[in-house]
Structure 1
Amino acid sequence: MNHLPEAWGRPRSDVYGEYSKQISQAGPSVHTQSPSVTGTSVIAIKFDKGVMLAADHLASYGSLARFTDQQRLYKVGDETVVGISGDISDMQHIVEMLDNLEIGSNYELYGHTLRAPHIHEYLSRVMYNRRSKMDPLWNAVLVAGTGEDKKPYLAYVDLLGVTYSAPTLATGFGAYLAIPLLRKLVPDEVDCANVTEAQARAAIDECMRVLFYRDARSSDKYAVATVTTDGGVKIESDIKCQDMNWRFARNIKGYGTQKV
């Protein structure tokens, strides 16, 4: 089969004569419109002294669990962490842009540092610009850190340039499976002050366990990033889901080798 664009839907040469390739030489630019290697959910929650994020280590090639050691939480600057889901190659491009942004800002000797609101605003402009050119970066990004007022900051931006902020955020399947669990602990912005780091961590671990049960593109190994208002950033990797129990599947018709 001929996969070249000039052969798509072309008339038969033996009936209509030889096809002129000059017609297709000045065609439009063709961009990637279907991600091939992807990462799934990133989840985040605010607590009294900061923000906590989590993302698993799996990068899937379609339905194949191809790469099991992919880091999707990145530290940017001194007090910001970004969590990225979606296309892995586009994620690597975003990380490279953020590295260049950080290097450029470090040349400016004015005493200013990159904070989470600056990085979120930068990514929102980048994503909207690529969307406007019909060549989007196929990612959803969570930006966590501290603002100018030294308060916890958490915001979202996706491939369309859509942005919003909330005390609990998630991408991918986490938006359907993890957000309800996180909102039990933090239903509103004012409730963040009543949540400790230990409570936030317990909720994060529970959500990652549920996602491993229910999301076929997830892994039982994940990373957790904690950003505190005193400027500290800690990223833990290779955390494994605990207390896994698949006995409930015995009663599900059609599971495994059961006959329906």
Structure 2
Amino acid sequence: MNHFPEAWGRPRDDVYGSYDRSVFGHDAAGPTQHTQQPIVTGTSVVALKFKDGVVIAADNLASYGSLARFNDVERLRQVGTHTIVGASGDVSDMQFLYEKQLENLIIAEDYQEDGHGLRAKHIYSYLSRVMYHRRSKMDPLWNVLLVAGWDDGKPFLASADLLGTTFSSPALASGFGAHLAVPLLRRIAPDEASVANITREQAIKTIEECMKVLFYRDARSMNKYTMAIVTGKEGTNDEPDIEIQKDVSLKQQSWKFAEKIRGYGAQTV
């Protein structure tokens, strides 16, 4: 068998002859194939509910493979009046979702002029179906989406990924944050009932700590990020206050802790 990556599992041409592509019934180059390898990617999105809303953050780095290529890519986007969407994964797929799908959705909704707007749960339902539809076509959008906002008089936070998997939780993170940030988030929000005891200040501080840990531990992250804070009025569907802080820099960042790690740098082991 031919074990080169470009022809895995095919018989060797030098032994069995060239592969007969006529079986495809059309162009000799083979069937139409979709790009299934993300090139420029963004890493983690981190989000946490608190008593009166949600805090969500994502750093501004877009990596070209292992190269830290673009340092001003904002991966959070306000959609409508009640919702913030954060995306990790392929940047071009993220732009397609933001600039085409969601933009057209909001424009179509505004045409109605009926006094109603799309809330967080509506945006999430739409995105989850888009992701599952593309997965079913074997042409997935290579993203993990976190949808944060205000709905039914309470904070809303849920996730949808490229396989169409959907779930909600008081604390969510995508990318490397799913391994490093979620344990920190669950210290303060182990379950849905604990959200009522979390203040806005506590939520912001916890998210900042997560972004700091990710900067130190995730090679595809950076120390500049965007944070969005959605604050609503309990028990109402009135338009919440959405504060978006751009180009936030990590505070008190230092690598001095590395001096105490045995075997680091010029230390004698």
Question: TM-score, normalised on structure 1?
Answer: 0.89
Correspondence 1:162-177 to 2 at 5 A: 162-177=165-180
Aligned to 2:118: 114
Q: Does the alignment pair 1:79 with 2:74?
A: no
Superposition deviation, residue 251 in structure 1: 3.9
Question: How far, CA to CA, are the matches of 2:264 and 2:90 in structure 1?
Answer: 30
Question: How far, CA to CA, are the matches of 2:120 and 2:268 in structure 1?
Answer: 53
Superposition deviation, residue 248 in structure 1: 2.3
The counterpart of 2:57, out of the listed 54, 57, 61, is 54
Superposition deviation, residue 243 in structure 1: 1.2
Question: How far, CA to CA, are the matches of 2:263 and 2:221 in structure 1?
Answer: 21
Question: How far, CA to CA, are the matches of 1:11 and 1:38 in structure 2?
Answer: 36
Q: Deviations over 1:112-163 (max 9, x none)?
A: 211111111111111011111111000000001111x221110000000000
134-143 or 108-117: bigger deviation: 108-117
Q: Deviations over 1:36-94 (max 9, x none)?
A: 11000000000111001000000011111000000000000011000000000000011
Aligned to 1:209: 212
Q: Deviations over 1:195-226 (max 9, x none)?
A: 11111111111110011011110000011101
Question: How far, CA to CA, are the matches of 2:41 and 2:267 in structure 1?
Answer: 31
Aligned to 1:248: 257
CA 1:35–1:198: 2 relative to 1, 3 Å: same
Q: Does the alignment pair 1:138 with 2:142?
A: yes
Superposition deviation, residue 34 in structure 1: 1.2
Question: How far, CA to CA, are the matches of 1:56 and 1:219 in structure 2?
Answer: 6
The counterpart of 1:69, out of the listed 65, 68, 72, is 72
Question: How far, CA to CA, are the matches of 2:19 and 2:122 in structure 1?
Answer: 53
The counterpart of 2:154, out of the listed 143, 151, 154, is 151
Q: SS of 2:253's equivalent?
A: coil
% same residue = 57
Cα RMSD (Å) of the superposition? 2.4
Q: SS of 2:132's equivalent?
A: helix
38-47 or 221-230: bigger deviation: 221-230
Question: How far, CA to CA, are the matches of 1:62 and 1:259 in structure 2?
Answer: 34
User: Residue type matched to 1:101 in 2?
Assistant: L
Q: SS of 1:136's equivalent?
A: coil
Question: TM-score, normalised on structure 2?
Answer: 0.86
Q: SS of 1:238's equivalent?
A: strand
Q: Deviations over 1:221-260 (max 9, x none)?
A: 0111011114111110111111112122234456456677
The counterpart of 2:104, out of the listed 100, 111, 116, is 100
User: Residue type matched to 2:241 in 1?
Assistant: G
Question: How far, CA to CA, are the matches of 2:211 and 2:11 in structure 1?
Answer: 47
Superposition deviation, residue 180 in structure 1: 1.0
Q: How many residues align?
A: 253
Q: SS of 2:157's equivalent?
A: strand
CA 1:167–1:21: 2 relative to 1, 3 Å: closer
Unpaired runs of 5+ residues, structure 2, are 1-5, 234-239
Aligned to 1:127: 131
Superposition deviation, residue 164 in structure 1: 0.4
